[in-house]
Amino acid sequence: MMRLFTGPCPVCGGEEFSTCSVLWPQLINTWQLSEDEVAYIDRQQGFHCKQCGNNLRAMGLSRAIIKEYGFGATLNQFCESLSDVKLLEINAAGNLTSFFKKLSSHRLIEYPQFDMQNLDIESESVDLVVHSDTLEHVPNPERALSECRRILRGNGKCIFTVPIIVGRMTRSRVGLAPSYHGQSDVPADDQMVHTEFGADVWQTVLKAGFYSCEIFSLEYPSALIVIARK
């Protein structure tokens, strides 16, 4: 039986949630999602905290981060009290940036100024790399993850989300009709999907050189978080 996440919000402690559907027919068609897959992706992207606005995937990401550091409270309190963690955020992760900013050495880098496949960042200079639903938009996700690994210090980790369809394997969209995330009526190039991740997402992580890949579940299968350790 599936365990549903009921709060409180791991980001801000909020206890009121709201839900909206996010997917639209064209994306559902190009992604070839079944009815239950639509339901869990909609929940991942649309179920959100009314107080901080973060959705289920951002809440899962937050819970994975604070758990990884052995912290018992919210992400907000984590960022206020552990200010020496050097965190690199690649593209704004949900509505988490304003919380991450409380860490004094937090840095946000964004596409297209920064190409995840060739990061203009010193090797072994970061404790924690975070990105959320970015990797599926990068032409070579393995190369992007190996760049994340390169810039991490010895015991560093990369904690991230990608939409994972658990009942199938990862596939490249090369040669298939273009598929876009973002908004239904705005086919922006940086929202084009290059890879649809599946149950073998761990392979991309290990091929990129990480020692281990853990899948953390705030809620299965709608909030799965990848923890890659250097």
CB of 22 to Zn ion, least distance (A): 18
Q: Are strands 126-132 and 164-165 parallel, antiparallel or unpaired?
A: unpaired
> If DSSP codes are grouped into helix, strand and coil, which group holds residue 60?
helix
The 3 state secondary structure assigned to 110-121 is CCCCCECCECCC
For residues 55 and 195, which CB has a smaller minimum distance to Zn ion in the complex? Answer: 55
Q: Where along the sequence are the contacts to Zn ion (CB under 5 A)?
A: 9, 11-12, 14, 49, 51-52
Contact 79, 103 (CB under 8 A): yes
DSSP class of residue 133 equals S
Helix locations, the chain, DSSP H: 25-31, 35-46, 56-68, 75-81, 97-100, 141-151, 201-207
CB of 17 to Zn ion, least distance (A): 9
For residues 62 and 134, which CB has a smaller minimum distance to Zn ion in the complex? Answer: 62
For residues 11 and 138, which CB has a smaller minimum distance to Zn ion in the complex? Answer: 11
For residues 33 and 58, which CB has a smaller minimum distance to Zn ion in the complex? Answer: 58
CA 11, CA 78: separation in Å to the nearest integer? 9
CB of 15 to Zn ion, least distance (A): 9
For residues 94 and 163, which CB has a smaller minimum distance to Zn ion in the complex? Answer: 94
CB of 52 to Zn ion, least distance (A): 3
Nearest to 170 by CA among 205, 218, 210: 205
CA 96, CA 63: separation in Å to the nearest integer? 12
CA 221, CA 111: separation in Å to the nearest integer? 28
CB of 58 to Zn ion, least distance (A): 9
For residues 10 and 156, which CB has a smaller minimum distance to Zn ion in the complex? Answer: 10
CB of 167 to Zn ion, least distance (A): 30
